[in-house]
Amino acid sequence: MPDAIQRITPFLWFDDQAEQAVELYTSVFDDARVVAVQRYAKQNAQISGRPEGSVMTIQFQLAGQDFTALNGGPHFRFNEAISLLVRCESQAEVDHYWERLSAGGDPAAQQCGWLKDRFGVSWQIVPAVLFELLGDPDSGRAARATQAMLAMKKLDVEALRRAAAG
């Protein structure tokens, strides 16, 4: 039986940095690969104003999730209304993804586990335990974890647990 088709695929519009972005993203995630690259043919290059033969789209996978990156020109910019959430099992994973994805990004856009990479894409680097702490049936524990999270840039698992415990 063939693999199931992923029904929804994030499509990321870059000016002309799709190759560099995909190179970064596939180097950060262990289970990552480029699936296909399409180049601008003469006709669509003329319409889009992109150079003939340059990369148009790149299909790639991160942790089994399909993505497409487009070199579409400067018409649109990323903003924080959409982000990619990376659920981490440990502080070591939080540290790995945070350090690699935030390198060269916007330090002013870092808060509560959110960061903006050097291409303007917003990411949330979140330890799985945060969801447990914020959803704790003890409202005091949840409130303390929330307050601790709000004061952090990169999330610190042990500090969140200590805060929840009081």
pLDDT digits (tens, 9 = 90+) for 40-99: 998 888 788 888 999 999 999 999 999 999 999 888 999 999 999 999 999 999 999 999
Q: Are residues 65 and 4 in the same domain?
A: yes
> Residue 19 is encoded by which pair of tokens?
């190759």
Helix (H, G, I), strand (E, B) or coil at 20: helix
Q: Are residues 60 and 100 in the same domain?
A: no
DSSP 18-30: HHHHHHHHHHH-S
Q: Are residues 85 and 164 in the same domain?
A: yes
Among 110, 144, 4, 105, residue whose Cα is nearest residue 64: 4
146, 116 Cβ separation under 8 angstroms? no
Residues 112 and 121: their CA atoms lie apart, in Å, by 16
**pLDDT of 1 over the 70 cut:** no
Q: Are residues 87 and 165 in the same domain?
A: yes
Q: Which amino acid is at 62?
A: L
Q: Are residues 20 and 46 in the same domain?
A: yes
CB atoms < 10 A from the CB of 108, how many? 7
Among 109, 115, 110, 79, residue whose Cα is nearest residue 97: 115
Q: Are residues 63 and 104 in the same domain?
A: no
Domain of residue 89: give its range: 78-166
Per-residue pLDDT, 30: 92
Residues 141 and 133: their CA atoms lie apart, in Å, by 7
Which tens digit of pLDDT belongs to each residue from 84-94? 999 999 999 99
Residue 7 DSSP class: S
Residues 119 and 135: their CA atoms lie apart, in Å, by 33
